[in-house]
Amino acid sequence: MRHILLILALAVAAAGAPIIAPPLAAQKSGKPVPRPKLRDVTDTNDAQAYYDAGMQAFRDDPGYAADAFYWAARLNPGWAEPLYARRAAILAQRRTLLNALMSGNRRSRDLRALDSLQLKAYMLNPFVYRRLDNQLFLTWLTDGNRQAQAQLAHEINVAISQSPASIKAWFAYSQGNFERALKNYADAIEHEKETAYLHLERGRIFGMRNDVTSAVNEFQKAIEQLRTKDEKSLVVLYDSKAMAEFCIATLLEGAGEAQKAKEAYGRALQEDLSYYPAHMRLGLLALGQGDTATAVSELAMAAEIAPTDPFIRYMNGYVLGRAKRVPESVTELTKAIELEPTFALPHLVIATQYEALAKGPEAIAAYERFLRTASTRDAQRQFATERLADLKTLVNAPKTE
């Protein structure tokens, strides 16, 4: 039993504690990954289909799952879940990295690169649910042996019941029992000296439940605790003050508290001026309020900080288009397409910009690219199909003298 308790303690420390690494570690895996075959779906432009396939295969074939999550993230670069899931699948596939993670050894460059996937996931959605943490822990504990997992289930549950409150909280969270996780994290806060990460975890759970007041309160307490730490320490990836303020801001924005959200995004940037998701969200907030100058400025800063991120370049191009800065929009959208040609939305938006420039043939080609790259269930397909037909009629119409 003591052996299981030690394993649990190590696992929770590795899964829930702050991760320290360079803030903008490489996001790409090097060589392109071939598209895995979808077993029950024919639409190979469907990010959701690849994600679902990866989730189904995670336990038995983590290599296939990692490739499926890779393609889900490429097809939809603005989606957080495939990034987190790909990190988990690669860890499940590569025993050496999983052992390093569970032992707290983060010197591996490959492990730091994987950590950056989770950082980016939190930048896209700070409330992404780490639904694979529990299975990843069981994979490490049993080397992926299902029979061993079943045999150890009772022993693990007994060990959890005798563990510190923070371990009970993590385990409840990993199983989707958020009510119990909140209670156990509250108990842990009463007994542990370092409580910032406990407040952060409670804040994330409250945020997932859309309890804005409780979530903001927890994040504020976490920030107070984090301010007591050494300001000269290395950047903490997703347990930083900037991330906590970003969480507060997204919650307030979702609750319709635009001004308070802007202030929180501003505080996130005061903590870390390079925190480009805050620039992006500030820009989109400004756009919604009709302040196109601020929108363009904030998105330009986000694109400058993250020049190789196709989603950021797409958003910058979209905002420029909304601001009627059409040539600049085309430039940014072209860059987004160069960075990720399988991402369908830039093709659609650049088509509308070519229309604004009265470039019919270019618009036709862009709409056709969108229809080739978009999922069959993409809601924009009908619009693109209708515009394409209208443009072809217009371009092919006889010239009048």
Chunked mean pLDDT (size 10), the chain, 401 residues:
47 43 44 86 93 94 95 97 96 85 71 86 95 85 72 77 86 92 95 90 96 97 85 55 96 97 97 96 97 98 98 98 98 98 98 97 98 96 97 78 55
- 157 exposed, middle or buried (CB, 10 Å; 0-12, 13-18, 19+)? exposed
Tokens of 213: 């007041």
Helix H segments across 272-374? 276-288, 292-305, 310-322, 326-339, 344-356, 360-373
- 393 exposed, middle or buried (CB, 10 Å; 0-12, 13-18, 19+)? exposed
Please check whether residue 210 is in contact with residue 232, taking contact to mean a CB–CB distance below 8 angstroms. no
pLDDT at 199: 96
Tokens of 38: 């979808």
Alpha-carbon distance 80 to 139, whole Å?
23
Please check whether residue 282 is in contact with residue 290, taking contact to mean a CB–CB distance below 8 angstroms. no
pTM above 0.75, yes or no: yes
pLDDT at 28: 54
Using the CB atoms, write b or e for 196-220: b if 16+ within 10 Å.
bbbbbbbbbbbbeeebbeebbbbbe
pLDDT at 234: 44
Helices first, then strands: H and E counts in the chain: 21, 0
Alpha-carbon distance 166 to 12, whole Å?
8
Residue 162 is given by DSSP the state T
Alpha-carbon distance 176 to 288, whole Å?
35
